[in-house]
Copies of this chain bind each other. A is one copy, B any other.
Amino acid sequence: MSTKKPSSSSNITIRDVAQLAGVSPATVSKVLNGIPYVSPDTHARVQAAVEQLQFRPNSIARSLKMSRTSTLGLITNDLEGVFTMSMMRGVEEVAAEQGFSVFLCNSYGEPERERAHLQVLLDKQIDGVILMNGFRVHERGAPALSLGNMPVVYLFQYTRTSGIPSVIPDDFGGAVTGTQHLLDCGHQRIGVINGPPNYEATHIRLAGYRQTIEAAGLTFDPALVRAGKWYESFGYALTNDLLSQAEPPDSLFCMSDSLAVAAMSVVRERGLNIPRDISVVGFDNRAFAGHQTPPLTTVKLPLVEMGRLAGELLLQAIKAGKPADEIYRVPCELIQRASTRLMASPESGVN
């Protein structure tokens, strides 16, 4: 009894092609791999044979010989994280473009699982691996398993000590962009609804906000800032609180779209119009941002782009040697919708 299951891919090998074309297997291999010094004539005969037999080279055999698998690993700590999918899409996209497949692994944030997955991936001879955080930019140490000289890239997390290239969003720049936009709209008292203190983004975005308003000659006023958690249910109280003070803000920069949705709802309940009476800017550019009434202006987290960059860095490392082990900060673009209104510039405005 043969234990070999009938492979679904046809069982024709390079020898069959060689035989049909009347050449040696070595020659077939050469035309398959585009190695020069093959006469046009043989080249054509081989190609015809390949065609006729519908031959597909067995990439396992090739991998065994070459020690390359054209395969990447992608390990995430949270497969259901809010930001996971888009980054994954970016990674998958570049990988597919360059003929690579990607293994998907979920570590649930447990080092032991990360180790186990890395071990399997190492056994399967993948060419490189991306370690991705699904919901929070964070500094972390080395991979849970020593990877020898296999290329690694960190995504949505970073390290300063392990010599691993890292791709993260430019939260600071994003906050600057959002704040500047509100400033450009003519606002002077920009309120902030922020996330929890155990997220780096919370602090970095606030810093970006602060620097921008100060650069505009305004004074940073802690009374305009509230912080809680990222999701909607926290936005209601925070916004109500912020708007209840004597000198309420004239605009709101919410550091997540979920918070912005809550904020808009509170603003509406108070009988104010967005953007006439008050502008609202979000952060993230989640799918629902464009479906709000009015559609939410927001600072976009460049997730797909980040995934792509991580993939590109990894492939580059695989093909050409280690890329600079820097921290790559991808810019966050402002997505302008209807929850803010650009005022006429002073020069062109009505006097």
Q: CB within 8 Å of B: which of A247-264?
A: 258
A292 to B265, CA, bound (A): 13
A-B pairs with beta carbons under 8 Å apart, 16 shown: A4-B66, A6-B148, A60-B63, A64-B64, A80-B85, A80-B89, A89-B106, A92-B106, A96-B106, A101-B105, A101-B121, A101-B124, A104-B104, A231-B291, A232-B288, A258-B288
Given A66-B3, A88-B79, A233-B291 in contact, is the A103-B102 Cβ separation under 8 Å?
Answer: yes
Shortest CB-to-CB span from A120 to chain B, Å, is 6
Shortest CB-to-CB span from A81 to chain B, Å, is 8
A86 part of interface (Cβ distance < 8 Å): yes
Q: Could you say how many copies of this chain the assembly holds?
A: 2
Could you tell me if A74 and B231 are in contact, using CB atoms closer than 8 angstroms?
no
Shortest CB-to-CB span from A229 to chain B, Å, is 10
Using CB atoms, name the residue of chain B closest to A9: B122
A35 part of interface (Cβ distance < 8 Å): no
Could you tell me if B125 and A9 are in contact, using CB atoms closer than 8 angstroms?
yes
A288 neighbours in B (Cβ, 8 Å)? 231-232, 258
A71 to B101, CA, bound (A): 12
A345 part of interface (Cβ distance < 8 Å): no
A41 part of interface (Cβ distance < 8 Å): no
Shortest CB-to-CB span from A189 to chain B, Å, is 28
A236 part of interface (Cβ distance < 8 Å): yes
A102 neighbours in B (Cβ, 8 Å)? 103-104
A84 part of interface (Cβ distance < 8 Å): yes
A58 neighbours in B (Cβ, 8 Å)? 64, 123, 125
Could you tell me if B89 and A79 are in contact, using CB atoms closer than 8 angstroms?
yes
A63 neighbours in B (Cβ, 8 Å)? 60
Could you tell me if B59 and A88 are in contact, using CB atoms closer than 8 angstroms?
no
Could you tell me if B5 and A68 are in contact, using CB atoms closer than 8 angstroms?
yes
A150 part of interface (Cβ distance < 8 Å): yes
Could you tell me if A7 and B125 are in contact, using CB atoms closer than 8 angstroms?
yes
Could you tell me if A124 and B59 are in contact, using CB atoms closer than 8 angstroms?
yes
Known: A79-B92, A101-B105, A101-B121. 16 other contacts (CB 8 A): A4-B66, A8-B149, A9-B122, A9-B148, A56-B119, A58-B64, A79-B85, A80-B86, A92-B104, A92-B105, A96-B105, A101-B103, A101-B120, A103-B103, A104-B104, A232-B288
A60 neighbours in B (Cβ, 8 Å)? 60, 63-64, 69, 124-125
A325 neighbours in B (Cβ, 8 Å)? none
A57 part of interface (Cβ distance < 8 Å): yes
